[in-house]
């Protein structure tokens, strides 16, 4: 049965903006080292960043008909998140569909399949995170569903979760946790700023990280 469903609960602009201030690495650490998608899924250009609500879609391997439907029904700012069975040998998205996304104001694409036309994608600046780069074409055959919970990169992503990505990778934040995660992320950034200031003031990494009791308990001996 094919279901084209809207995002059931859409995060507010304030929730998206709250987490958009922070890097995926900071968010991952701040929320208890949760939510990081597989490091195999990378941006096609290191300058690409994205943050927005996940418009989820399942695609059959080597088939992009549902991706095209997702582009048709997604709203401005949405991040289309595609679960396609970790199929690397297909170029399911390229410059033509990227232009369709830009025309609609879609915020980015995350897929566990392949993409192509990467030079053009870089020139367009549309944020694309993919498992591979592959020139092989796709079919348009299998209808599935949009906006169900999916598994991608080893993580469950629900429609309306917030996806954040940069050169280092991707992290998912549950919509209902957005403000708390932003608060924890800010606290982590503040602490890291204090560490950097301490290093610049001449303190050692052992002092700053309070490693002496840990090293002593482990029996570290410094010779010479």
175-188 pLDDT tens trace: 999 999 999 999 99
User: 3-state class of 91 per DSSP?
Assistant: strand
Asked if residue 18 belongs to a domain, the reply is yes
**Residues near 83 by beta carbon (within 8 Å), at least 6 away in sequence:** 56, 57, 58, 59, 112, 150, 151, 152, 157
Q: Has 78 been labeled as part of a binding site?
A: no
Q: How confident is the model at residue 2 (pLDDT cuts 50, 70, 90)?
A: confident
pLDDT at 217: 93
Instruction: Taking residues 78-88, report their average pLDDT.
Output: 98
- The verdict on 135 and 199 lying in the same domain is no
CA separation for the pair 189, 69 (Å, rounded): 39
Residue 52 has pLDDT above 80, yes or no: yes
Instruction: Taking residues 209-217, report their average pLDDT.
Output: 92
Residue 136 has pLDDT above 70, yes or no: yes
Q: Has 97 been labeled as part of a binding site?
A: yes
User: 3-state class of 224 per DSSP?
Assistant: coil
Domain count, the chain: 2
Residue 26 has pLDDT above 80, yes or no: yes
Query: How many Cβ atoms from other residues are within 10 Å of residue 2's Cβ?
Result: 10
Cβ 60 vs Cβ 84: under 8 Å: yes
Q: Which residue has the higher pLDDT, 39 or 220?
A: 39
Q: How confident is the model at residue 223 (pLDDT cuts 50, 70, 90)?
A: confident
Q: Has 116 been labeled as part of a binding site?
A: yes
Instruction: Taking residues 108-128, report their average pLDDT.
Output: 98
What's the Cα-to-Cα distance from 40 to each of 87, 96, 123, 169, 211, rounded to whole Å?
Answer: 12, 24, 23, 8, 32
Instruction: Taking residues 62-82, report their average pLDDT.
Output: 98
Mean pLDDT of the chain: 96
- The verdict on 196 and 154 lying in the same domain is no
- Residues facing 162 on adjacent strands: 53, 173
Q: Has 214 been labeled as part of a binding site?
A: no
Q: 126 lies in which domain range?
A: 13-175
Cβ 97 vs Cβ 67: under 8 Å: yes
Q: Has 96 been labeled as part of a binding site?
A: yes
Cβ 90 vs Cβ 61: under 8 Å: yes
Asked if residue 85 belongs to a domain, the reply is yes
Q: How confident is the model at residue 171 (pLDDT cuts 50, 70, 90)?
A: very high
Cβ 58 vs Cβ 144: under 8 Å: yes
- The verdict on 18 and 35 lying in the same domain is yes
- The verdict on 29 and 109 lying in the same domain is yes
- The verdict on 22 and 120 lying in the same domain is yes
Nearest to 163, CA basis, from 28, 6, 3 = 28
């Amino acid at each position: 049965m094919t279901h084209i469903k809207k995002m059931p609960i859409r995060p507010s602009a304030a929730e998206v903006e709250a987490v958009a201030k922070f890097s995926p690495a900071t968010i991952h650490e701040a929320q208890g080292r949760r939510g990081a998608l597989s490091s195999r899924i990378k941006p096609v250009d290191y300058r690409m960043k994205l943050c927005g609500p996940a418009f989820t879609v399942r695609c059959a391997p080597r088939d992009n008909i549902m991706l095209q439907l997702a582009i048709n029904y997604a709203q401005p700012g949405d991040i289309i998140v595609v679960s396609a069975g970790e199929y690397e040998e297909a170029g399911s998205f390229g410059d033509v569909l990227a232009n369709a996304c830009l025309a609609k104001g879609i915020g980015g694409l995350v897929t566990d399949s392949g993409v192509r036309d990467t030079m053009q994608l870089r020139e367009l600046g549309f944020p694309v995170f993919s498992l591979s780069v592959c020139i092989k074409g796709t079919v348009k055959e299998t209808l599935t569903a949009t906006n169900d919970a999916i598994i991608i990169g080893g993580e469950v992503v629900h429609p309306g979760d917030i996806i954040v990505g940069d050169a280092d990778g991707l992290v998912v934040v549950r919509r209902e946790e957005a403000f708390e995660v932003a608060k924890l992320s800010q606290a982590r950034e503040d602490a890291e700023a204090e560490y950097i200031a301490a290093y610049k003031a001449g303190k050692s990494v052992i002092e700053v990280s309070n490693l002496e009791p840990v090293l002593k308990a482990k029996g570290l001996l410094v010779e010479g």
